[in-house]
Structure 1
Amino acid sequence: MGNEKNSSYKSERWRYLPPLKHVTYEAEYLVKKGRSRSALMEQECQGKSNIIAGENKAVSNVKLMRTLFLTSLFFLVTSLTMAQVTGTFKGKVIEESTKQPIPGASVYVNNLKVGATTDTGGIFVIRSIPVGTYPVTIASMGFQNKQISEVVITANKTYYTEIALLPLTSQLGEVTVMSFKGENNLLTPVSTYAYSREELFRSPGAQGDIMRALSSLPGVVSSGSQFSAIAARGQGTQDNVYMVDDIPMFNLSHLESEGYNSGFNDPNGGRFSIFAPRIIDNVQFQNGGFDALNGRRSSSYLALGVKEGNKESWSLSGQFDLMGATLIADGPVSQKTSIFASGRYQNFSALIRLLDEQRAAISYGDYLIKTTTEINAKNKLSFIAMYNPERPVRTIDDVESGKNINDDNSGGTTLYDHRGNKIMAGLNLRTLIDAKSYIKNVIYYRSSHVDNHFGRFNPSLDDDGVIINPASGGFDASLRTIKNDQQEIGYRSIYTKRFNKLTLTAGADAMVINLDYARTLDRTDTIYSFRSTDRQPGQQQNYQVLNPSLYNSSFDKATFNGSGYINLSWNISSVVTINPGMRYDYTGFTGQHTFSPRLSGSVAVDDRQSLNFASGIYYQDAAYADIAGQSAGNKLKNERSIQSILGYKMQFSSDLKLVVEGWHKDFRNVVVQPNRSQSYLNNNGSGYAYGADVNLTKRLSENYFGQISYSYMQSKRNNNDGLGEYDYVFNIPHTVSLMGSYKPNKQWIFSGKFRYSTGRPTDQYIVYTNVLNDPALLKYAQEVTSVNGTRLPDYISLDARVDYNKQTRWGVFSAFIDIVNVFNRFNVNTEVFLPDTGRVFNVGLGVFPTFGIRVEL
């Protein structure tokens, strides 16, 4: 910011905000009032003492001392009491594009009509704010006004935050926008949504889980309430770019059953996020069309910012709910360094008993530490480390007699013992080079460890499928084993420079990956579910023999991946902005070089309306487990998609926005499995997807927020095996989502969400009886005659959440109840065939409640 802007700002800054009033804070008023009363009382006592004579003088002096003591005590108690019911709001305002501090910016606490102006370092402070929750507006000449929906002021503490402002655009004029990271940014003109920390926490049915909260966005589908992993616009749960503090992540979910589906990944993804509630400070989600800075996955881009430690005051908090506990420590460790640390442990024993589900031992933990250091005015360094272990186990001792294996969520006859963890550590250094440029350097380590064992038991059953004796036919606790250890050391360097009408971003990534993978079948096994195309020529039996020689694989290699990218944002005129970009990737395991040109842009219709577009080529690395499972002569290629998006955006008011988008994707080199009884894969697949999304969002302001969205989607695949195209597993033609939250007073928040979607595709099949020709060993088989040829029942769920918050002199007390699917409609995600009965059991979820309390000191 130059001196010219600072000099002009003083006279014009209030055109963006109402005038600030000089504040007489309640605490100061009462203190002054107490002093005045004290002075009058003292004068009165002095007057009386002059009138009284002789022996009464001593009594008068005693009365005077008592009065002075009581007055002083009143003053002290009043001062302490008022100090306990006020807090401070402090922070730093910077430019989003260059990270430079913005002097002279106005920060305005709306409800109190008080505020402050940032100094030359972008710092502001507002003191003596009564405890409570307030909306805050930030304004500066040449930037979009920004409104923060909820700033929580706690007694005797300082709420500290860093606020980034986006450049003012002709599309927005002088409108104040409830914008968060990435929204209303000309670099990301399409498909960009964001959540604040408070919006994430109160999202009904999400139970504080970031991934579950995202499932209500347009174009996003999940596998129902039982799973949290998301699939976006016609692609799968493994196709999303995940970044945490600019560090790439393998995935963000717990309890993903790798190896469950005949040795390959469960397409449903994981079930719970690795982030505890209130860990994530900001979210940016792009549902396709993202720029050249991100790659190696092609569906969507999810950037999560972990909360930075408070630089001014300490707080300790604990949340205790039905599944476990979360502890958080947040505060300064020195004048320049702050820390944010959290630990969560979850155990499902109580919930399993409450829902009367299959018995199993399921637990996981999430442990995180982040430090932030302002080295000097130009350099900011953050360090982050995460450890996320998990251990779901189902042994023969967990199987009870009297249970029907045909029942929903019965677990069938599968046993498992999964040991896994994720580790990530990274350093992120942001350096301001000059007034218009900065560079970000990131070095990181990440690893994923999976050691999964799958077994089977052979129970005796009655005619209805009820277990008589779980182990009557014996059991094998570890028939199949999957070991998948991945380690990666990486470095990223990203440079950004802003010119007059042009912003340049360029960077490079380098990473070394080590993959140690082993898939083992202990003995020849029989597969009782197969596709018509799996049959070998002349084969007569109605089952498949799984031979260890065709299943087992071992892979232990290291390789190098490299990327380079450049992206421009060019304001051609006050109406038109375009963002051309180019990305280059080298993938070591496939030995492939790819180039991905991309283009996005925006055309302003008027101050509130714009037309937006994006198009480009996106390459996706083959999954490491798929690469490791192939023979030496079979190299998989990267999958390719061409994406196009055209959208319309209308900003009705500062907190109300309508977005309508149509999109199309074309897929080539899709990895497919020709035969389920073999690990062989190839790139013969192709496909396409298209659809449209409509979203009306009322951001969190005043006392309520809400969202209405509708998505139409078609997604088709073709394995090019002569059977033609079929519905992709996440082909969900219709999805409707309604969500709202209302805060009638300072204590209570009521939230609800209704979601409807078309049932997921599932296979059509025929069933064969006594396929082993042995009545003493009766087995059934399932032949899939049409892949995804029919559909499961539609998904319908109504979620409800109630929060109670009470500010006290010692901190904050909160209680909540969050209920997924309050009407207990059983929503089916998957059907699993049972060779023992010839029937399927449904995997899904009915009502899913959780409740708990939270205390912050």
Structure 2
Amino acid sequence: MKKIVSAITILIIVTLSFNSVFAQSTGKITGKVIDQKTSETLIGATVSIQGTTIGAATDVDGHYALSGLKPGKYTIMVRYIGYQTKVISDVDVKAGAATTLDIAAVPSDSNALKEVVIKATYRQETVGALYAMQKNSVSISDGISSELIKRSPDKNTSDVLKRVSGTTIQDNKFVVVRGLSDRYNTASLDGAPLPSTEPNRKAFSFDIVPSNLIDNIIISKTATPDLPGDFAGGNVQILTKDIPDQNFVSVGISEGYNTQSTFKDFKSGYRATSDYFGFDDASRKLANNFPTTNQIILRQLTQKQTIQSISSLNNNFNIYNQKALPTQSYQVTIGDVKELGANKNRFGTTISLTYRNSQTVVPDYIQQYDFYNYDSQQNKFSTNIGALANFAYSFGKTKITLKNLYNRILDDQFTYRTGANTNTSTVDNHFYAYDMLEKGLFKSTLEGEHGIGEKNAKLKWNLGYSNIINDQPDQRKVNYAQYEQGGDYIAQVTNLTKENARLFSHLNENIYSGKIDYSMPVNLFKQSTFKVGVSSQYRDRNFDARFLGLIINSNDPNSEAVRLRPVQTLFGQNAINAGLYGLDEIQNLNDRYDANSFTNSGYAMLDSKFGEKVRVVYGLRVEKFDLDLATKDPTAKKVNMDNLDFLPSINFTYALTSKANFRASYSRTVARPEFRELANFAYYDYELLATVQGQPNLKRTQIDNADLRYEFYPSAGQIFSVSAFYKHFNNAIEPLTDNQTSSPTISYFNSPSAYVYGFELEARKTLDFIDESKFLKNTTAYANVSINRSKVTNLDDNTGRLEKTRPLVGQSPYVINAGLQHNELDNKLTLNVLFNRLGKRIFLVGGQTFPSVWEQPRNVLDFQVGYKVLKSRGEIKLSGSDVLNAKYNFIYELDGKPYVPSGEGYTYRAFKMGSNYSLSFNYTF
């Protein structure tokens, strides 16, 4: 709490220091100078205002800034050795604002006898530079810019990624590219790899990065040697803002309404004030002097010590009922840029604080299959706080950047479940779960870029550190059973079971990374760039879990009366003091493990142009991966992996016209198992009604990828593309359900062989081709469709599993994204309607008793209306997401039909999350 107050205080002080922003009467021109044919930034190009002595040289980022300009129109001149001089007119400068102008420089003809000057207007040059950046990407990729993000209702990166061609989001936060599940995708933030934020899967929770801090997102769907080799679907690269174009202070506030939650009854367990700020107040955690596992298992505690130990636990099982408050979101962002010295070196900062709180209710969470017939109500209290602090200093041909991200999420969920389990002698059950999860991520990246020599050679390095915590300080579960119709509900606390236990777990992971890249032009073919680099990443994880519980003394004559108490008083202090409860623990040394991995990589590549139309990027990446994992069980075999992978890739581009490309590529990549998938740790997931178990014998997956793509850019910001792809998997890693016993187990295994193929179509176009009216000129339609097919082959027919053939887990047969954007009143009014749908996909692989669980398709419709006010410095937005509120539905299917082996049902789980509407106001000083 004190840390938050201190951070807010510092932010307010910094904010007040920006009063000079409001007094500005001059403007500036900023932007980048790039090579028109490769989009490489040019270092040391001279940008000047014609007819004056005002000028600047581009830095190592290709960036320039011409400041202190009086309002008016200017003509800009750009000169660079080996390139034609370019003159851009009609560049409009406004007071207190930055005019952005990216410039595409044209290489000069070596046979030219005199200087050639190219003339263009501001609008022509802006369009031309955008064309160049769109068309000249090295690999087959898709992306989204900060400008498009502003026009959508998306509040975090996971929402934004749903708009990218061939991309969907699972569980509202995990990315799926080309229908391949999250484990086959990787991500980086500001050039450093992003760690897995989940304890039980390889996945990064993209909902923790606020969307308005993103500069751009690029998803590379084909590999190049300078990218990490552990992906098959896509490599998601997120860049946050560092040096802003101008000083600003931005304040945002948003209030949201959920149709099935807000102002409805909201039930929860114990709530501390600090929960509203993302931090547990430590009242749920085990005391420092709490008995050890051996003391409890070996019964070394006296009755007095047992009572003291039980009393030190948080035994507040009260159920608090209130009305769910509206979703609240607040953000303050500060940007500052200063020009230092005669050379106008730039120092910039971007600092942001975000806060979000939501209270959501899922009134009917249905699970009806096998012998389960359950109906649950879930109530989730969620707080998200985040901070971003980026600092950058650009001087001469050097730029040093320090980027920091901190995010903390506290999810406190209370579940009340009723229903029958026909596999037991009970008629009905009342189940209670108090479950709080704390997730924290701190990431810091120090990066340097240096221009070397006169030939645009560049040295780039970065050092990264990440820390992840994932804590469940006291997950509590209690079940009451009714043994005859109309009978009493009796607490099942006579022994320690999966429905009467308290889980205390702590995960801490540190990640250290570093890399260095060097690129330089070489005299090879028409134009070539040689690039070489090395990188390392070291991960170190510690995980600890304890399963504890209170066991009632059944021989005590008062025990039956206590078991009839409501859950609020079941563990009352009077019963504890009377010695009615003992303390027990389920001991499993595999529940605690230490793990580390070391990945060392090196690559070499050439980016070559053969004539005016052909470009080939080719090379080899080599990755050495070592992993060690050991549980606290001295008799258990340690897990070791030692892999050396040679990963070649080639990307071919042929410029059919100045607006169209044909691309082809081949690459080999890998997918490695996560720590949790390898750890022999068993965890009962009460939501899935199954035990999640690791598999120490997993192997890495090797993937061969091939792609074809045609892309056409009718005008800047518009695109039409068609892609086809094929992927072959050797030892694909998938989740597996073993349901031969009464308690299903979800584990992991290697499918021997699998393949995926499909095609994608993307189109973004203004509608003025229908009619040249102003209305249609201001309306843009876009759609991207992905059609995918996959099959797991060489399945073992001797396993007794119901399915002999099936698609890959998480692979959707189709993905549809579509939308309409419209601007009115000189862009003051913006409207955006977005649609998403994906085909049914396997959630879990089936076993001998049940086939696979399939997630059914659902339609998602979002919209946003924005209107700029107060001289366009402020904007009011009305947003709606998941307006149709379609049901999430997971069912058992065999041969495309619901599977009911015993007549009990086939719904693995089904629920609705409600539609969300929000009204927000943002103002930039």
Maintained 8 Å contact 1:610/1:649: yes
In the alignment, does 2:671 pair up with 1:603? Answer: no
Q: Which residue of 2 aligns with 1:343?
A: 353
Q: Which residue of 1 aligns with 2:243?
A: 309
Maintained 8 Å contact 1:115/1:126: no
Q: Secondary structure at the match of 2:592?
A: strand
2:436 to 412, 417, 432: 417
Hey, what's the Cα distance between the residues in 1 that align with 2:500 and 2:193?
35
Q: Which residue of 2 aligns with 1:183?
A: 134
CA displacement, residues 801-848 of structure 1 (integer Å, 9 cap, x when unaligned): 11121243xx8222112111323333436899999x976541443422
In the alignment, does 2:391 pair up with 1:371? Answer: yes
**Aligned pair in 2 of structure 1 residues 668, 440: CA closer, same or farther (>3 Å)?**
same
**Aligned pair in 2 of structure 1 residues 166, 394: CA closer, same or farther (>3 Å)?**
farther
In the alignment, does 2:741 pair up with 1:794? Answer: no
**Aligned pair in 2 of structure 1 residues 763, 493: CA closer, same or farther (>3 Å)?**
closer
Maintained 8 Å contact 2:812/2:841: yes
TM-score, with structure 1 as normaliser: 0.70
Shift of 1:593: 0.9
Aligned length: 691
Q: Which residue of 2 aligns with 1:512?
A: 538
Maintained 8 Å contact 1:229/1:270: yes
**Aligned pair in 2 of structure 1 residues 621, 385: CA closer, same or farther (>3 Å)?**
same
Shift of 1:341: 0.7
Hey, what's the Cα distance between the residues in 2 that align with 1:647 and 1:246?
26
Hey, what's the Cα distance between the residues in 2 that align with 1:671 and 1:194?
28
**Aligned pair in 2 of structure 1 residues 168, 840: CA closer, same or farther (>3 Å)?**
farther
Q: Which residue of 2 aligns with 1:42?
A: none
CA displacement, residues 156-180 of structure 1 (integer Å, 9 cap, x when unaligned): 534376958587899xx99945738
Which range is displaced more, 650-659 or 466-475? 466-475
Maintained 8 Å contact 2:178/2:786: no
In the alignment, does 2:288 pair up with 1:288? Answer: no
Which range is displaced more, 116-125 or 563-572? 116-125
**Aligned pair in 2 of structure 1 residues 652, 801: CA closer, same or farther (>3 Å)?**
same
Maintained 8 Å contact 2:377/2:417: no
CA displacement, residues 542-582 of structure 1 (integer Å, 9 cap, x when unaligned): xxxxx978893432244432100112111122222111111
Q: Which residue of 2 aligns with 1:535?
A: none
Shift of 1:102: 3.0
Q: Secondary structure at the match of 2:160?
A: helix
Q: Secondary structure at the match of 2:385?
A: strand
Q: Which residue of 1 aligns with 2:234?
A: 300
Shift of 1:516: 1.3
Q: Secondary structure at the match of 1:845?
A: coil
Q: Secondary structure at the match of 1:652?
A: coil
Shift of 1:201: 2.1
1:229 to 174, 194, 197: 174
Hey, what's the Cα distance between the residues in 2 that align with 1:552 and 1:467?
40
Q: Which amino acid aligns with 1:377?
A: G
Shift of 1:362: 1.4
Q: Which residue of 1 aligns with 2:150?
A: 201
Shift of 1:736: 2.4
In the alignment, does 2:30 pair up with 1:90? Answer: yes
Maintained 8 Å contact 2:828/2:867: yes
Q: Which residue of 2 aligns with 1:644?
A: 706
* Counterpart mapping for 1:520-559 below 5 A: 552-559=590-597
CA displacement, residues 318-361 of structure 1 (integer Å, 9 cap, x when unaligned): 333333211111113673422111111111127889x9973222
Maintained 8 Å contact 1:146/1:179: no
Shift of 1:508: 0.4
Maintained 8 Å contact 2:248/2:924: no
In the alignment, does 2:692 pair up with 1:692? Answer: no
Maintained 8 Å contact 2:875/2:922: yes
Maintained 8 Å contact 1:373/1:380: yes
Q: Which amino acid aligns with 1:799?
A: D
Which range is displaced more, 344-353 or 840-849? 344-353
Q: Secondary structure at the match of 2:824?
A: coil
**Aligned pair in 2 of structure 1 residues 139, 295: CA closer, same or farther (>3 Å)?**
farther
Hey, what's the Cα distance between the residues in 2 that align with 1:804 and 1:754?
22
* Counterpart mapping for 1:631-780 below 5 A: 634=696, 636-672=698-734, 676=738, 681-698=748-765, 703-717=778-792, 720-722=795-797, 723=801, 724-745=804-825, 746-761=827-842
Residue ranges of structure 1 left out of the alignment (5+ in a row): 1-79, 108-113, 259-263, 404-409, 525-546, 766-781
Q: Which residue of 1 aligns with 2:568?
A: none
Q: Which residue of 1 aligns with 2:273?
A: none
CA displacement, residues 422-478 of structure 1 (integer Å, 9 cap, x when unaligned): 1111110111112320111101101211123654332568999x9998978899675
**Aligned pair in 2 of structure 1 residues 139, 345: CA closer, same or farther (>3 Å)?**
farther
Which range is displaced more, 640-649 or 512-521? 512-521
Hey, what's the Cα distance between the residues in 1 that align with 2:86 and 2:887?
45
**Aligned pair in 2 of structure 1 residues 245, 381: CA closer, same or farther (>3 Å)?**
same
Q: Which residue of 2 aligns with 1:33?
A: none
Maintained 8 Å contact 2:751/2:792: no
Q: Which residue of 2 aligns with 1:243?
A: 188
Shift of 1:86: 7.9
**Aligned pair in 2 of structure 1 residues 241, 674: CA closer, same or farther (>3 Å)?**
closer
Shift of 1:849: 2.1
In the alignment, does 2:873 pair up with 1:812? Answer: yes
2:512 to 489, 503, 518: 489
Residue ranges of structure 2 left out of the alignment (5+ in a row): 1-19, 59-63, 110-119, 257-327, 341-345, 366-375, 421-428, 551-584, 628-640, 682-692, 739-743, 769-776, 894-898
**Aligned pair in 2 of structure 1 residues 764, 566: CA closer, same or farther (>3 Å)?**
closer
Maintained 8 Å contact 1:830/1:843: no
Maintained 8 Å contact 1:146/1:178: no
TM-score, with structure 2 as normaliser: 0.65
Hey, what's the Cα distance between the residues in 1 that align with 2:412 and 2:590?
23
* Counterpart mapping for 1:837-848 below 5 A: 840-848=908-916
In the alignment, does 2:479 pair up with 1:458? Answer: yes
Q: Which amino acid aligns with 1:372?
A: A
* Counterpart mapping for 1:467-478 below 5 A: 478=501
Q: Which residue of 2 aligns with 1:23?
A: none
Hey, what's the Cα distance between the residues in 2 that align with 1:369 and 1:340?
6
**Aligned pair in 2 of structure 1 residues 846, 349: CA closer, same or farther (>3 Å)?**
closer
Q: Which amino acid aligns with 1:747?
A: K
Which range is displaced more, 572-581 or 844-853? 844-853
1:387 to 406, 429, 454: 406
Hey, what's the Cα distance between the residues in 2 that align with 1:470 and 1:650?
69
Maintained 8 Å contact 1:293/1:566: no
Maintained 8 Å contact 1:402/1:468: no
Q: Secondary structure at the match of 1:203?
A: coil
Q: Secondary structure at the match of 2:46?
A: coil
Q: Which amino acid aligns with 1:348?
A: S
Pairwise CA RMSD: 4.9
Hey, what's the Cα distance between the residues in 1 that align with 2:596 and 2:481?
48
Hey, what's the Cα distance between the residues in 2 that align with 1:210 and 1:492?
25
CA displacement, residues 730-755 of structure 1 (integer Å, 9 cap, x when unaligned): 22222322112111024211100122
Which range is displaced more, 503-512 or 94-103? 94-103
Maintained 8 Å contact 1:178/1:699: no
Q: Which amino acid aligns with 2:458?
A: Y
**Aligned pair in 2 of structure 1 residues 799, 793: CA closer, same or farther (>3 Å)?**
same
Hey, what's the Cα distance between the residues in 2 that align with 1:415 and 1:757?
33
Shift of 1:595: 0.7
Hey, what's the Cα distance between the residues in 2 that align with 1:695 and 1:467?
61
Q: Which amino acid aligns with 1:457?
A: V
Hey, what's the Cα distance between the residues in 2 that align with 1:216 and 1:736?
10
**Aligned pair in 2 of structure 1 residues 761, 632: CA closer, same or farther (>3 Å)?**
closer
Maintained 8 Å contact 2:446/2:463: yes
Percent identical among aligned pairs is 15
Which range is displaced more, 655-664 or 671-680? 671-680
